Structure formats: C-alpha cells, structure tokens
Structure 1
Amino acid sequence: GTTKGGSPRARVAAYKVCWPPFHGAECFDADILAAFDMAIHDGVDALSLSLGGYATDYFNDGLAIGSFHAIQKGISVICSAGNSGPTPASVSNTAPWILTVGASTMDREFPAYVSFSDNQIKGQSLSSLGLTHEQYAMISSIEAKAANSSAHDAQLCYLNSLDPEKVKGKIVVCLRGINPRVEKGEAVHLAGGAGMVLANDKSAGDEIIADAHVLPATHISYSDGVYLFTYLNSTKSPLGYITLPKTKIDTSPAPVMAAFSSQGPNSVNPEILKPDITAPGVSILAAYSTASSPTGLSFDARRTPFNVESGTSMSCPHISGVVGLLTTLHPTWSPAMIKSAIMTTARIRDNKEKVIKNSSMYDATPFNYGAGHVMPNHAMDPGLVYDITPSDYLDFLCALGYNSTRMRAFSNESHSCPLKPMELENLNYPSISIPNLFGSKTVTRTVTNVGPPGKYIAFVYAPRGVSVTVKPAVLDFEKFGELKKFKVTMKVIQEEVQYDTYVFGRLIWSDDKHHVRSPLVVKAKY
C-alpha cells in the first residue's frame, strides 16, 4: 500500500548532532546548541528532537536552553519523553516550553502466534520466517544453559549462554530484559535453534513489540509467558510451532501506553505536568538508513530502506507532523497556542471507550499520557487555547531563583523579574499540577478564544478527596481573540483524601461543540 508522513508536504532540514560514542556519550550539548542556532538561522517552523537524557536543572540542560531560543523566535520544539519507563519520575525534557511526547500503541499489529498443545498465544514479530509445517520441540532457555554459563545469562539468552546440543532444532523460550531483544534470537540462532519465543518479564507487562528477528520468532506478554513456562515445566516433551507474521488492523484495545515510555511526575518542577501528550510510538513504519542494519546490531548484515521501530523517538515526530500541519493552518499561533491545541483536544479513552491502559492493563494516568493521546483533526479547531509568552517563561525562571547570569543563557535581552515572584502553578499551562496541596490553593488561568463567539461552561471531574471550584463557571466570548481569566480552587476533603498520594481529575470547558480538557494533578500534604 501507500504510506506518507504526518506532514507530507513539509520540507525537512536535518542537522546532525549525534556521533559514534566517545567516553560513553554520543550527543553533546555543543553540537545540539550549534544545530539550534543553525535551524533558527535557516527559519524552520518546528524542531523535532528525538533526544534526551536525565532530567536536570534547565541551566545545565542544553536542550532546554536551545529550545528556549527557538520558541523566542516562534519555533515549536517537540522532544521525546524518554524510554526509561515504567519507572516513576523518569520523564526527561521537562522544561515547560518544550512539547514532551510519550509513546503508545495504535490499532495495527503484526501478530505471530506460538501454538502448543491445544493453545495458541498471540505475539508480535517482523520475522520473515515462520515454523508452520511441523511440530518442534520446545525448551526453556534456562534449561538450555551452557555448562560455562550462569542461569541468569541463559534465562536472558545472552550470546554464547546456550548449549547447542540442548538447543539444536528446537524453539527456545527466552526472557525479556537487559540485552537487546533481537540479540536474544541471535543467541538461539548461533546455538542451532529453530525459533524463539520472547516472553516479557513482569515490568514489561503486556507490552509486546514487533522486531525484525533473525529467525522465526514471536514476542509475547508477561501473563502469556507465565502460562507458556508452566506448560514447558509440566510437560515431558513439549511441542509447538510459530506462525509467519501478518499485518492486522483495527485491533483493540488501542491505544495502550508503552511500558518503556518514561513517566511523570516531573522531577525538576512537579508543578508542570510531564509528559504533555502521547502519540504512536510502538512498531512504527518509517524510512531507514541503509548504512545500518534494521536492528542496529553488529552481527546483522541485512539492509532495508524502511523499518519498523519503537520508542518515544518514534512518537515525537508524530507530534512534530501535527505541529507542522497546525503551523500551516494557523501561521500566527505561538508555540504555546499550538501545544495547547494539541493537549486540550487529546483523548484519554481507547477504541473500546475505556480509559487508556498502561502496559500492565491497569488504567493509565496523566503521568503516563499527559493530556492524552493526540487527536490531530480535533486540534485544528480547539475553541480555546492557553497562551504563554517567552516573557512568561522568563518570569517562571525568576520564580525558580535564577540570577541575571543564568537568565542570560536563555535570553539575550534583559529581563526584569517581578517584585513579587509568580507562583509556579500559575504559569498559564494547559494542565494544572499542584504537588503540595496544604488545605486549599487557588490557581489562575487565562484562555484565548480562537473560535466563533460562544458560551463555555466549566465541567469538573474532581480528583478523589479534593473539591474543585471554578470561578467564573461560565465564560461568554463575544469575539475572536478575546481573553478570559478564571480561577480554580482546590481544597482537601479531610475525611476522604489520601495524603502524599497523587490523584487525578479533569477540567473541561465546553460550548457543546468544543471540549477544552485540562488534566488536574494533585498531591495533598499534611
């Protein structure tokens, strides 16, 4: 069939900032900042950066500094949230002027089944081979341990950890974790195995990924893996086979959050919810360099101009494509307005009309998906937007205690800090996060009408144990471009609240046609 990018008529300018590893690092701030300077000079409209590292103070973060210079010139900056999930507070690119993107699945899969006894388990694979013509002996990798290898290495199918005499001609079941997924298949292949089943460990849950395996293989969930290992351990001569992968569309539930997608809360400023949004980042078809193998592993001699990859590095350019379309449609909008349109029109329900799930199939939260899964067509016409100027961001830095020397890293222009520092929660962000709610707190927001005149009514889904009051509860806009201010007061309900635990809700402004949604994130303190 035919495929195209998210912003198909966009012109792409590419700036190389990453190089072969040097002392363990590949992408240096000096190169990143030089690329920002060149891109700003070249007049780009949006910058897509599938880059990141450990979250740190903005003054020590080249991405935060460079991206601020870009948004000062009206250039949107979109960055990956990181692939350190499901660890809490692992999200990177936490600066409020960056649009930070998590990764979720979509309703397309590449199923490859493992059949055994009277059972068939659905996995995912992009292997070009299957084992459908006969039954093959099956063995757990830990049972196939080489004499000079540890049980740990064999269980994870490290290279040279398997005994060829035990593995030859068999399907080996390996455990996910630590070493690359495709490398595990290479370990089975080198030992003479016929195929591999890759089972998730508990932390990966139900997240399964289609990889270009080097032998017939499929990747299955944690719960299915437990079932398969039980079969292997209870059967004298286990047999099975692996089917050839096929493409299947309209699958459900979708989207589901990827286990690898880095999570909130924001470890630098929990007053700013991160990630901001989630987008497709699992098994994404994209153009690929023929200078490298589809797995990026040294033993893989294959070359292909297209590949299927997973990571927040794949979800980030999805949002960049949407930003490109919105920039074309609304050329006068600021980066903050574009970000707001994307966030406030996002969806938190899947295609089964249930709350989006995490990889363990529990309800996900804004720490997983931010404002939700992107809905590009809705973002075209958001109704209301939350705008933020570069000066507002500088006031935010003032509130963090930045002195004049640090401020100059972000702005070449002098900026006078307000005599009374702003409260961090009052940055005009499209989400509201209060990490330290003592009794009650009021925050202020301002919305700009970017649609026709209309009356918007506030609907609140309050976080558990917290009462929420919005004043005024009705915003009546008489013209395009009109601004309206409102206040949101959150108050602890002492007999219901659970202290030191984040709870979540939503504020929705609606005129019946537009539904402007903002996540509410609160942690009550004694």
Structure 2
Amino acid sequence: MRKGIEFLCWHPYIGLAASVGDQLNSSLTPSLSTGRDLDGHVSHTLSTAASNFVPGANVFGHGNGTASGGSPAARVAAYKVCWPEVGDGACMDADILAAFDAAISNGVDVLSLSIGGPPAEYFEDGIAIGSFHAVKNGITVVASAGNSGPTPGTVSNVASWIFTIGASTVDRAFTSYSTLGNKKKIKGMSLSATILPRRKYYPLITGASTKLDDVSEVDANLCELDSLDPRKAKGKIVVCLQGGGGTTEKGVAALQAGAVGMILTNDKESGNEAFPFAHMLPAADVNFIDGQTIYAYINATRKPTANITPVKTVLGIKPAPSMAAFSSRGPSFIDPEILKPDISAPGVGIIAAFSLASSPTGSKFDKRRIPFNLLFGTSMACPHVSGVVGLLKTLYPLWSPAAIKSAIMTTARTLDNEEQPMKDSSTNDTATPFAYGAGEVTPNQAMDPGLVYDLTIDDYLNYLCGRGYNTSLLKRFTTKPFACPKSYSLSDFNYPSISLSELSGEVTVTRRAKNVGHPGTYFARIKSPTGVSVSVKPETLTFKKMGEEKKFVVTFHPMSHVSDYDL
C-alpha cells in the first residue's frame, strides 16, 4: 500500500527559529501559524503526484478535462519546511532534516521534493544527507533538477541516491495570436481570461515609448511597475520585454496604466520558448524572433496597430516533448561522473490543483482565485515521476529505490512524437543527456524493464569513500561504523547511466544486471559517440530465473582526446 507521496503540511520551524530569532513573528509570517498552503505550490505538486480523478479541471475554461495524479488514491503525508515570507523564502536544513525524520518515522514509500538550492558537496547538503537516510529506509527520493537552465553545470540535487528530474514540454498549447495592422499574424501563448473585440485594432506602442518622465527607457521597456505613463498607454496595446521583474506583474503595470492589452516578447536570453501566463488583461507571450518582427513593424510604421485573439487550447502539438529552456543542465558540478539530471518529465504548462489562498499569478494586485492553475518548472516535473514511482512500489513492493530508479531510467525515451531526437527548446538543436538524462519518462514501459541495475546502501557508502570521505564525514550518513575498502573505482558503481568526464585513454566500466522479468536473452546494441570506440563483453546475457545477476563490461577507447563527454 502506498503510504505517502510528496514532501511539503505543518512542521515545527526549529531551523527557522534558530536562524531569524527575534524576527520570528506569526503576525508578520502568517504561514507560521497554519499548515495551509498559502502560495499554491504544494497543492499543485501534491495533486500531480497523488490526487484522485477530478472532472472539469481547467484554468479560466482552458484545457478542460479530468485531472488525476500519477498515483491516484495514494495516501499522502505533507511536511512543511519553507516559510516564503522570511527573506527570499526560508527553507532551513534543520527543518528539512526534521521533515525527513518525520517521513521515515511515518513509513512513507516515496518522497517528492520540489525544492533545492545550489549544488554542494554531499556532507554539506541537508537534502543529500536526509535523502540518504530515507533511501536507507527503503524510501525513493525524487527531486527537481532546478530552473537555472540552459546554462551548463546548473543542475542541483545531484547525489547519486536522489532521483533527479528535468522538465520537458507537452503536446498541448494555449495559443493567442497578435494580428498586426499589416495583417501579419504572430503566434503567441496566453491564459488570459479577458478578450478584445474581434477585428478591432488598437494603437500599438512599446513600453519605452510610454515611460514616465522620471523612469529609464530600460525599466519602461521591461514594463516594471509604476514605469508607464497612463496618458500615453491608455487604450493601447503595449509591447513589453521579458526580464527584470515578474512576468505577470508586467501585465499589471500595463493594466494600471490603462492599456487594453499587452504583447510580451522574449529577450534574446529567453530565446524561442514562449509560455502561457494567466495575465489580468488580454495578452500574448511571443518568442524572441517574433518579438523582433513586432518591434520592426512598430519602428517602420507611422501608426502601428494590433489585435490580440482569444486563447485557444491546441492539442497534438508536434514536435513534443522538447527540453524546457529553464530546466537546469548537467554536468554535475559536484561529480560529473554521475550523469544528472537522471530523467525528464512534463514540467511545462501543467494543470493541477491550486490553493484558494493565493492568486493564479501570485501578484498582490491579483484578487482572482481558482481551484486549478497552470505552472512551469522542474517542480512540476518532479511529482510526475513521483507518481510513477508510487505505482511501481505498488506493483513491486520489495524493489529497492535503486531498482525502481533503474526501471524508469532504462525504459526512458529520447525520441519525440515525430520519432526524431528530442529538441532543446533554448536552441531548437538536438537535446543532450545533460538536459534530459536517460530520456523522457515512459510509465508503461517502466512496469516491465526486464533488467535493473541495483544498488545497496553499502554501494553508496563505498562511493562516498571513493570521494575521500573519512569516518567523521561518513557519520552524517550512517550511524554504524563503516570500513572503507582499500581501493575503490567509480567504474564499479552500478549506476543505470554511464558518464565519463574525461576520456584521455581507454576506460572499462563494469555493470551488474539483475533479471526482474521472465527468463530470456539480452543482446548488446551499441551506438558509439563520435570519436569513441565502444565494445561490450559479453555481447549477450542469458537469464534463467528471476533475481539472477550477471556482469558485463563496457570499454571506451577514444579515437582522439575527448573531454566532458557524456555517454
């Protein structure tokens, strides 16, 4: 029986109290005195992991359908470890570790952590330490990879015993077109609840052209709050640029200035990945290239005009999935020999439950309340995998966390719905394992992986020994004395993926495959990376019974020097 999925309800704020001391005041920090979700994040992630079937789920009428968590009917426990009103949002290690202790004591089967910070060496990382003890107690720990992509080396939650999840797109879009006065239609994304009259065109103006006298052109172009002049913006559609303050607050700035609509264009860094947001006025978000087209039209036209069409839900988008630009990328800053993230899952435009204590945009100016919301992030991707883990735990209650992780990784898919290699949304080039790990999660295939790569707690401790951890440091991970082996090679670490940070000479890697399916014979299929010769011995493995394990070795021979190369 699944006992619990998700990580964040009420928990004593011992770490927070020690950190802020006299500043701690429940009147100033409302979430201290309640277990209620006040910002919607946990409601969204928890319902994605384990909600029952709920018909009529939609956001302002868009995307209507029946919602369900990955493990419907699962029992859930929630542990509150963050207080958003303190600083930039206080999530103290002491509180996180206390929540791990509570979850272990409560006997949960899965922990879903849509939380993280900058990567740190494991003995300094509260999540890494807490998750190790959870895995030691048979709990699979699933965590988000972070939202600092597409910059390389930004992935977080990188411990080998954590299941680290990147975010990918889905085949659904919420489109809204900006029709310019020259009849050119620009495809954008939106979840605006209000619409403009059809076929009526409004003056089109840039944020910089509507600036108040004492405001810089940069701030006005970004449509920062209190930067736009109502005398110039009233009755017009304002073009704002991504960057600076909050995305939805740009719409608030335009609305407060009397604008009838907003076109939000990506900056160059945001690239060609546009997202739908629940703006408070008719609005469309467009990519960088299309944004440049709009600016060019304004600059070349004496009286530019535009209209914004109502939002339309479009299904069957191709190609999909692709890797979200914001999803943090490998290689791991802590240990590039462990490929991170481990896998990708839907994290763009996810509709799930939302707290009625918060507005859909999170803006203090937004008084709307809705039971479902559409969000983006590896926070949204993480509970998708948590739900799959819950299902596998139900099917195979004796499988270890490593076996469950292996089953999901080794059955992942790297092709999109056009049977082409997954793309990277930030560049539209082919994505790499540093973005998607082993690939996109495919739940049905994970039920029957055939073989798994299993790991024990001793394997993880040996791995830490190989990183130079002494007896003192190991005490953070195990309460029993542990004798490190005299020698240890990461090539013997039975991880489901193989990552070589530098290949200056021949390298041999050993793996142990355990049969969890019917008796059968497996054949090695090799697709060598450019510049590398790869061989597998033996080339076939025959298993005669359930639970049987066999070894094989993979040898990598560089044709030329290869560095930071992932396989």
The alignment's TM-score, normalised by the length of structure 2, stands at 0.86
1:346 aligns to 2:380 (yes or no): no
Unaligned runs of 5+ in 2: 1-64
Bigger shift: residues 248-257 or 47-56: 248-257
Match of 1:403 in 2: 470
Query: In structure 2, how many angstroms separate the alpha carbons of the residues matched to 1:281 and 1:83?
Result: 11
Letter in 1 for 2:103: A
For residues 23 and 219 of structure 1, what CA distance do their matches in structure 2 show? 30
Q: How far is the alpha carbon of 1:206 from its aligned partner?
A: 2.0
Structure 1 position 89 matched with structure 2 position 153 = yes
Aligned mates of 2:475, 2:565 — CA distance in 1: 37
Matches within 5 A, 1:95-134: 95-116=159-180, 117-133=182-198, 134=200
Aligned to 1:366: 433
Residue pair 2:519, 2:544 contacting (<8 A) in 1 also: yes
CA pair 21-400 structure 1, distance change in 2 beyond 3 A: farther
The amino acid across from 1:428 in the alignment is N
For 2:259 and 2:187, the matched residues in 1 are separated by 21
Contact 1:467 1:490 in 2 (8 A): yes
Q: How far, CA to CA, are the matches of 1:347 and 1:230 in structure 2?
A: 41
CA distance in 1, matches of 2:460, 2:142: 17
Identical-residue share of aligned pairs (%): 56
- Aligned counterpart for 1:324 among listed residues 378, 386, 390: 390
Distance, in Å, in 1 between the alignment partners of 2:508 and 2:244 is: 45
5+ residue gaps, structure 1, are 505-519, 521-526
Q: Which amino acid is the alignment partner of residue 193 of structure 2?
A: S
Counterpart of 2:483 in structure 1 is 416
2:231 and 2:355 mapped to 1: Cα distance? 38
CA deviation digits over 1:352-375, x for unaligned, max 9?
A: 111111112111100111111110
Q: In the alignment, residue 478 of structure 2 is paired with which amino acid?
A: S
Query: 1:377 aligns to what?
Result: 444
Q: Give the match for residue 38 of structure 1.
A: 102
CA contact (8 A) 1:109 1:248 kept: yes
SS at structure 1 position matched to 2:232: helix
Residues 94 and 266, structure 1, Cα contact 8 Å, conserved in 2:
yes
- What is the CA–CA distance in structure 1 between the aligned matches of 2:416 and 2:301, rounded to whole Å? 39
Quickly say closer, same or farther: Cα 1:425–1:299, change in 2 above 3 A.
farther
Partner of 1:466: 532
* Aligned equivalent of 1:435, options 501, 511, 518: 501
Q: 1:488-526 CA deviation, whole Å, 9 max, x = no partner?
A: 1111102xx5x44x445xxxxxxxxxxxxxxx1xxxxxx
Contact kept, 8 Å, 2:337 with 2:501, in 1: the verdict is yes
Superposition TM-score, scaled by structure 1 size? 0.93
Do the aligned partners of 1:336 and 1:388 also contact (CA within 8 Å) in 2?
yes
**Cross-structure match for 1:170:** 236
Offset, 1:178:
2.8
Residue 475 of structure 1 deviates from its aligned partner by 0.9
Aligned counterpart, 1:63: 127
- Cα deviation for residue 257 of structure 1 reads 1.1
2:428 and 2:380 mapped to 1: Cα distance? 22
CA distance in 1 between partners of 2:207 and 2:549 (Å):
63
1:516 paired residue number: none
Rounded Cα–Cα distance in structure 2 between residues aligned with 1:154 and 1:354: 42
4+ residue stretches of structure 1 with deviation over 6 A? none
Deviation, structure 1 residue 132: 3.8
The residue type equivalent to 1:69 in the other structure is: H
Whether the aligned pair in 1 keeps the contact of 2:411 and 2:445 (CA below 8 Å) is yes
CA distance in structure 2 between the aligned counterparts of 1:431 and 1:43, rounded to whole angstroms: 29
Offset of residue 426 of structure 1: 2.8
Q: Deviations over 1:292-351 (max 9, x none)?
A: 111112221111221111111111000000000111111111101111111111111111
Contact 1:107-1:255 within 8 A present in 2 as well = yes
- Residues of 1 paired with 2:230 and 2:325: CA distance? 33
Other-structure match for 1:145: 211
What is the alpha-carbon distance in structure 1 between the residues aligned to residue 150 and residue 308 of structure 2?
Answer: 29
Matches within 5 A, 1:491-506: 491-494=557-560, 499-500=562-563, 502-504=564-566
Contact 2:499/2:565, CA 8 A, preserved across alignment: no
Deviation for aligned residue 1:266:
0.3
Contact between 1:86 and 1:262, CA under 8 Å: does it hold in 2? yes
Partner deviation per Cα, 1:253-287 (whole Å, 9 max, x = no partner): 11111111100010000000000011111111111
Q: Cα offset for 1:25?
A: 4.2
Which of the numbers 13, 37, 52 marks the counterpart of 2:116?
52
Q: How does 1:145-294 map to 2 (within 5 A)?
A: 145-294=211-360
- Whether the 8 Å CA contact 2:224–2:244 is kept in 1: the answer is no
Check conservation: 2:204, 2:298, Cα contact below 8 A.
Answer: yes
- Counterpart among 489, 511, 519 of residue 555 in structure 2: 489
Amino acid at match of 1:109: A
Deviation at 1:23, TM superposition (A): 4.1
Contact 1:271 1:425 (C-alpha < 8 Å) held by counterparts: no
Please give the alpha-carbon distance, in whole angstroms, between the structure 1 residues aligned to 2:506 and 2:221: 52
Q: Is the 8 A contact 1:355 1:364 kept in 2?
A: yes
Root-mean-square deviation (CA, aligned residues, Å) is 1.2
In the alignment, what sits opposite 1:445? 511
- What's 2:91 paired with? 27
SS in structure 2 at match of 1:448:
strand
Paired with 1:120 and 1:352, the residues of 2 have a C-alpha distance of 26
Q: 2:377 aligns with which of 279, 287, 311?
A: 311
Are the counterparts in 1 of residues 501 and 565 from structure 2 also a CA contact under 8 Å?
A: no
| C-alpha displacement of 1:221 | 1.1
- Indicate conservation of the 8 Å contact 1:272/1:425, yes or no: no
